[in-house]
Amino acid sequence: MDYQNLLVGDRGAVRQITINRPDKLNALNLQTLQELDAAFRAAREDAAVRVIVLAGAGEKAFVAGADIAELATLSPVQAQAFSRVGQNLMRGIERSAKPVIARIQGFALGGGMELAMSCHLRIAADRARLGQPEINLGVIPGFGGTQRLTRLAGRAAALELCLLGTPIDAARGQALGLLTRVVAADELDEEVQGIADQLAAAAPVALAGILDAVTLGADCAMDPALEFETQAFALCCSTADMREGTQAFLQKRKAVFSGG
């Protein structure tokens, strides 16, 4: 597919999807959301892809938010549809059976923060800034921000970020559990690539089982969540990768996982 607002490329089993609107600080308009949905669907369906990295072009921003020029023109009905497009995209990322890493080099604000929170791992430069400033526009987060913030950082932090609209720095974001790791800006690519390569070498069925158990289990009571974990564990034990992993351990060698 030819994308107008994305760059898509592979490095081995790692696919990188880059939002390429640096002149707009990679702001999310409807076309970009639709292209992201198509790109993530393609990555999930490609058996050669084991890990997905999501990035923003340029040095200033991962994604600085929704495209305000487009947002300002929406009717209530159009706004509802726009919100649902964003929510469906981000729910699809969150439910991906392949790990998704957000590479955050600068601003992740509004829709950009919501997009980052839908990823499984968030690796940020120490100069990154995070926030939900929608209150300053007279609206609320519309792509899941109120809900994922509450689940990741707790009610108090979610209310602070959404009610005040004041961005926070990367160190505070990590302390709140919004960022997985924070590194110096010149170490960001090396850190992201190292994590992506480690995940790409792991057993895909086990990765998918962990992602499902954590994501779905968080929305369940304990007993059904534990049962889901049991079933995912049992499924892993039916795979060639499980046999390879256990034999490699016993033989004191590095496992090579085929995905079978």
Just list the catalytic residues.
Answer: 114, 134
Closest-CA residue to 87 (of 123, 37, 41)? 37
Question: Whole-angstrom Cα distance, residue 152 to residue 38?
Answer: 27
| 100 DSSP β-pair partners | 52
List Cα–Cα distances, 8 to 38, 115, 189, in angstroms: 11, 17, 16
Cβ atoms of 203 and 245 within 8 Å: the answer is: yes
Question: Whole-angstrom Cα distance, residue 115 to residue 52?
Answer: 14
Query: Helices 145-153 and 155-164, interaxial angle, to 10°?
Result: 140
User: Residue 81 carries which side chain, given as an amino acid letter?
Assistant: A
> Which alpha helices (DSSP H) does 63-187 contain, by range?
68-71, 76-94, 111-118, 145-153, 155-164, 170-175
